[in-house]
Structure 1
Amino acid sequence: MTAAVLPRPELPTPVPSSPAPPAPGGAATAYQRVLHRAVHRELRLLAELASWATTDDAGRTTELTEHADLVARVLLAHHAVERERLWPALLRSLPAAEVDGARRHLLAWTDRTAPLDSRLRDLSTATRQWAVAGTGPARDAFVRACGLVADAVAEPTAADEADLLPLLAAHLPAGEWAAAIRASGSTLSGREQMLVLGLVLEDASAIDRARVLAALPPAVRTAWRAVGRRNHRAAVVRLRGAPPAL
């Protein structure tokens, strides 16, 4: 059975002014926000959908476990790119007066991210066990693992958005972000990259969606329009039993 997803006085006329140029890290902060929200949403949905799955439906088990594996890999890879590329690039770009404060935020980021990565690896283990065993207890362990990781994602990402995203928005050069995006997609197949792009765009505001798409290479934007959007919609319908909002 396919589970449905639960659900006066007049003021002076202002003088027109030239629009402010976009912040250098606007695309970076937009992507960070939408990725965090997509991961949290997908883990919550996986826990719910898996709780409805029967133990004799191997096809459904495969759909859910493959999607969980993708979500876990995406967030682990995202953290690796942040640690190895994004934060060093940010530190290089900061004014000297802001470096010490940023280093303190990055130490706190490390302390938050290490236990989250451990939970993501636990989820990967539960995913493999359910895929192989196909039993009720293995499914229930998978449901619990999805819920635990979803809970673990919420607080650290809120802290990242409060402490680190303003620094990215103000100081990260666009070229550094483009390099980070290329690195983050290097472990995914083309089809997986299109699916992840669709997932992160689903709940994005119009501004964040435009920023994320504008920062992509032209070939990726073309692939998204030509086949990615359609494939993402089909994958979401199979998984959730309902089309995406996008």
Structure 2
Amino acid sequence: MTTTVERPWVQEMIVVHRVFRRESRLLPELVRGVRPGDVERARFLAGMVREYDKGLHSHHTTEDALLWPKLLARVDLDADLVLRMEQQHDVVAKGLHTVMGRLATWERDASASARDGLAEAMDEHRRDLLVHLDEEERSVLPLVSEHITVAEWAELGETGRSHTPKDKLLFMLGALLEEATPDETARFLSHLPVPARILWRTVGRRQYAKQMRKVRAGLR
């Protein structure tokens, strides 16, 4: 009798990556669209950049703590790959540190020079991020599927959600579902408690759409 081994749903990670790909592309476009001296808009977008920074930092530190050590212990032949993932995390973190430093300057005066310097740093961050995401999806997720259990994968997701403030959970769900296919959306929603699904459909979806209209105002 053949026993079927349940595998973690690694597609979840790909959807999360789509969110970071989207936001790392849109945020510098939005920054470049701010008129010099428009401090109010600069401060608003600065808040969005900080949310992005927190989300990516949480995503990577959770992987560092819960994913890489397990893979290193189980896939000897691919240890160099796992170590490269950690090194890429460091590169991405350093780029974000530069972004956040320039963000503070731009937020104060919304000058054209500070705006352009910030957008350039964000573009450079995106280039580093895409290198990492591409390789992780291509080379690491197949190892995760083979060597990480369903329970361990679930722990990764639960830890990430636990780092998200409760008042941001519906927003994060909206960010995910914006990038999800209908089948992926159905799977995400099926894992939510019934009250959470009702809250999303009655309140969260509308609030997310309203927030995104404000954030993306002026985009072509």
> Is 1:79 the equivalent of 2:79?
no
1:202–1:136 distance in 2 versus 1, CA, 3 Å:
same
1:108–1:217 distance in 2 versus 1, CA, 3 Å:
farther
Cα shift readout 1:72-119 (whole Å, capped 9, x = no counterpart): 111111110001012334556x5xxxx213423211211222111111
Aligned length: 216
What is the CA RMSD across the aligned residues, in angstroms?
2.5
Flag the structure with higher helix content: 2
Cα shift readout 1:164-192 (whole Å, capped 9, x = no counterpart): 11122334323222322222133332232
Match of 1:45 in 2: 26
Match of 2:175 in 1: 199
More displaced, 160-169 or 202-211? 202-211
Unmatched tracts of structure 2, length 5 or more: none
Normalising by structure 2, we get a TM-score of: 0.85
Please give the alpha-carbon distance, in whole angstroms, between the structure 1 residues aligned to 2:72 and 2:158.
Answer: 20
Please give the alpha-carbon distance, in whole angstroms, between the structure 2 residues aligned to 1:207 and 1:67.
Answer: 28
Which residue identity lines up with residue 62 of structure 2 in the other structure? V
1:236–1:84 distance in 2 versus 1, CA, 3 Å:
same
Where do 1:99-138 residues align within 5 Å?
Answer: 99-138=75-114
Which residue identity lines up with residue 48 of structure 2 in the other structure? H
Unmatched tracts of structure 1, length 5 or more: 1-20
Please give the alpha-carbon distance, in whole angstroms, between the structure 2 residues aligned to 1:91 and 1:114.
Answer: 18
1:173–1:192 distance in 2 versus 1, CA, 3 Å:
same
Deviation at 1:160, TM superposition (A): 0.3
More displaced, 205-214 or 41-50? 205-214
1:160–1:75 distance in 2 versus 1, CA, 3 Å:
same
Please give the alpha-carbon distance, in whole angstroms, between the structure 1 residues aligned to 2:186 and 2:146.
Answer: 18
Which residue identity lines up with residue 166 of structure 2 in the other structure? G
1:22–1:204 distance in 2 versus 1, CA, 3 Å:
farther
Please give the alpha-carbon distance, in whole angstroms, between the structure 1 residues aligned to 2:136 and 2:40.
Answer: 37
> Is 1:241 the equivalent of 2:214?
no
Please give the alpha-carbon distance, in whole angstroms, between the structure 1 residues aligned to 2:158 and 2:8.
Answer: 16
Which residue identity lines up with residue 132 of structure 1 in the other structure? R
